[in-house]
Amino acid sequence: MGLFDNAVPGGNITKPLMIALGALLVGKMLSGRSEEPAAPQAPAPTPAGTDTSADGGLLGGLGGLLDKLKNAGHGNVADSWVGTGQNQPINANDLGAAIGPQVIREIAQRTGLNEQELLQQLSAALPGIVDKLTPNGQVPQNHQVASAFNS
C-alpha cells in the first residue's frame, strides 16, 4: 500500500484493518465491489455520539480521532504519534474508551471483526499510521488523508 508499508508491526495491513482505518480517518468503506455502482439509498441515520463528514471519517477524520484521544486523557500518546519522536503505544481498552463503544461497534460490524480483535489491531496500527500521515509533525487536512488511502 505504499505509504503504509512498515507502518504497522509486521508490515501487514489486512483488508478489515484498512476498512477500519478508512472508517475512522476518511469515511471510506473499502469493499471488494467498488466497480459496481451503488444503488441509491437514503442516508443511514448517524448513531448518536458519532460525527461524520464527507471525507472525515466517523470521528471527523484524523484531527477528530486525535481530539477524542486527548479528551480521554491520552494527549501525550496522540502527540507522540504526530510528533517526530518515538511513538508511544496505546492499550486496546483505552483506545476503545476514547473512540467510544458505538463507533467501535459500527466499525466491527463493517469489518467482520469482533470488537476486541478490532481494538487490538487498531491499537497496534494507529501509532504507525498516524506517524506516517503526519511526517512533519502537522495534522493534514481530511482530503490529504483521504488521498493517502487512494494511493
Looking at the domain assignment, is residue 45 inside a domain?
Answer: no
Looking at the domain assignment, is residue 40 inside a domain?
Answer: no
pLDDT digits over 19-54, tens only?
888 888 886 654 433 333 333 333 343 444 444 444
Close Cβ partners of 3 (under 8 Å, ≥ 6 residues apart): 132, 133, 148, 151
Pick 144 or 53 by higher pLDDT.
144
Looking at the domain assignment, is residue 42 inside a domain?
Answer: no
Looking at the domain assignment, is residue 122 inside a domain?
Answer: yes
Looking at the domain assignment, is residue 36 inside a domain?
Answer: no
- Residue 123 pLDDT greater than 70, yes or no: yes
Cβ-in-10-Å burial (0-12, 13-18, 19+) of 9 comes to exposed
Domain range for 91: 2-29+51-150
Looking at the domain assignment, is residue 137 inside a domain?
Answer: yes
What is the domain-level CATH number for residue 141? 1.10.10.690
pLDDT digits over 99-122, tens only?
999 999 999 998 999 999 999 999
Q: How many domains does the chain have?
A: 1
